[in-house]
Structure 1
């Protein structure tokens, strides 16, 4: 039943994506060939010598060439929303976007494995600055963050995510915590959405899926729990580099939209308090839900976030994020 419905909504998804593109809410309008052949991506303009930029490809699977567009722009973070149906992980923002051939394995695990295996062959005789050997020629030591958003029942999704990462794990491509320290790998997997904190942290001697901690809750005087990051947590849950990587929250809910493009004093203090709380724990603060329009407001927000110490910009306009002048204001 699910398979039939997935195929049946293909044309609707195409139209929806192209309307978003025309409205400026998305950066691409996918072709039939792109959707039909997600693995046929080796020629999609991936630039292996890209210099990494601290930007995160929000809803990465929406782009014309998932994964490759983000890598070509230099973004060091990508995001896959996964749904578990019939023992398979499908990728899409909503259930009406799911199609049979767009799975977690086909869009992300298999292409990443292919790219990294090829790099190992190409670099076997070269002396590198570090043992990591990531995907970015501009910085071999930069790990790519694969953010996996658990969309439906997190405890059920988690074993499938863990199992499907096995090919990357077996090649030692994943960042992991060994009970004493964090060992960096070419890929750092972070779980968000309905990801269960208790299951992610159950193994105290080996963890290679890290948590996306609730940024708003890390403020010095938390009075409200805003955004993701609550499944499997308690009021005493502790977030640090041994179990988490990002600390994220919804920008509009946690900070609010700047009035006439200006942050109020209260908004700046909220922002600074949340950023301090995350960095004190060794985590990378990240806001999602940043206004995408008008572009002037979006750019003001991005510039302010970078200036105030946010480690990762999240958005759909990859080249806009990667090439903006806000990086010049980074302290």
Structure 2
């Protein structure tokens, strides 16, 4: 019996090997220059072929070898650009010493995104303009939006109109996610403002906005079940809004003095972010403690209750075993997107033995 099984396995291996070589030769013959079928290997929307979008955010994306495209090639659904207003131009860089005339928001992000989305949304006899669905940047998942996080490094109110203006090419083509006064309509690109983004200007228009806020996650934390009195009844909480300190969180400019957790919702915000080290604390024991885990869960619950996506920045990056442990816990607990520096490690599945298929969608 064992001999028959071994013979069967060997026969199958030989058959698969022969078929594979034969198939590869057929592919080479079909796409060689000058052949009638040369164009079979290409189609209008194949710029991001075979790239599977992954729930990760390219932190300080402008540091990549090729900004934007390195992140897209890895499958990241979020990228980050720090912008500095000088004159009438928005320059991209981590500090002013790193700025150059050629590295602008327009040249690194706006223009490349317009060019890529035009390729992803061709007008052909098979796909006429009147029936044209707006595809996103990923050919394998056209419905997946790409989040462009714009970190305002210069004065928010002064920088704001320039950011709004430079988004015009994306806005005019209908590529931006926007709020129409009643609903949020998802587009191929979702713009999120952080840093010194002015919340008051962002929410000034109640019937249309296409820039969303990066809300302070720590202040959306779900406080859990209410405390009970001796009779088992919930204790009465003080009336009035829960005030947040001015300047707290990722976005901190132009917040009203009476801001409360309920100020932030899916119509004006997209992310809810906070520093992992400052809010949850560094895992000094090289694992997440029960107290830290409860804080993560409370913050995830609070953000999701407000319709926002959770993002932690300042995640420990070394040693890698600790980083991988933190990543695994965050994904398991419902964090929507990982803020990462190491794209290759983050977008591979070998950093965890557990499978989170919903995350790699």
TM-score range, shorter chain: 0.7 to 0.9
Q: Distance in 2 between matches of 1:148 and 1:295?
A: 28
Question: 1:328 corresponds to which residue?
Answer: 355
What is the total number of aligned residue pairs between the two structures? 286
5 Å-filtered alignment, 1:1-331, equals 47-121=48-122, 125-126=126-127, 131-221=133-223, 227-234=249-256, 235-237=258-260, 238-325=263-350, 326=352, 328-329=355-356
d(CA) in 2 for partners of 1:165, 1:50: 26
Moved more, 218-227 or 148-157: 218-227
Q: TM-score, normalised by structure 2?
A: 0.75
- Indicate the SS of the match to 2:355: helix
Kept after mapping to 1: 8 A contact 2:215/2:249? no
Q: Which of 1 and 2 has greater Rg?
A: 2
**TM-score normalised by length of structure 1:** 0.81
> Is contact 1:306–1:330 with CA below 8 Å preserved after alignment?
no
Tell me: CA distance 1:82–1:123, structure 2 relative to 1, closer, same or farther (3 Å): farther
The 2-side partners of 1:98 and 1:264 are apart by 41
Task: Quickly say closer, same or farther: Cα 1:210–1:177, change in 2 above 3 A.
Answer: same
- Asked whether the 8 Å contact 1:288–1:314 carries over to 2, the reply is yes
Bigger mean CA offset, 116-125 vs 302-311:
116-125
Structure 1, unmatched stretches of 5+, are: 1-45
3-state SS, counterpart of residue 191 of structure 1: strand
Distance 1:94 1:259, change over 3 A: same
What is the rounded CA distance, in whole Å, between the counterparts of 1:138 and 1:117 in structure 2? 16
Q: CA deviation at 1:230?
A: 2.2
Q: What 5-or-longer segments of structure 2 have no aligned partner?
A: 1-46, 224-241
Q: Determine if contact 1:48/1:135 at 8 Å carries over to the other structure.
A: no
Partner Cα separation in structure 2 for residue 298 and residue 223 of structure 1: 34
Q: Is contact 2:149–2:192 with CA below 8 Å preserved after alignment?
A: yes
* Alpha-carbon shift at residue 48 of structure 1 (Å): 3.6
Does the CA contact (< 8 Å) of 1:48 and 1:72 recur in 2?
A: no
- Report which stretch shifted further, 51-60 or 257-266: 257-266
* 1:13-62 deviation digits (Å, cap 9, x = unpaired): xxxxxxxxxxxxxxxxxxxxxxxxxxxxxxxxx74431110100000000
Q: CA deviation at 1:122?
A: 6.5
- 1:261 is displaced (CA, Å) by 1.5
What is the CA-CA distance between 1:246 and the residue it aligns to? 0.5
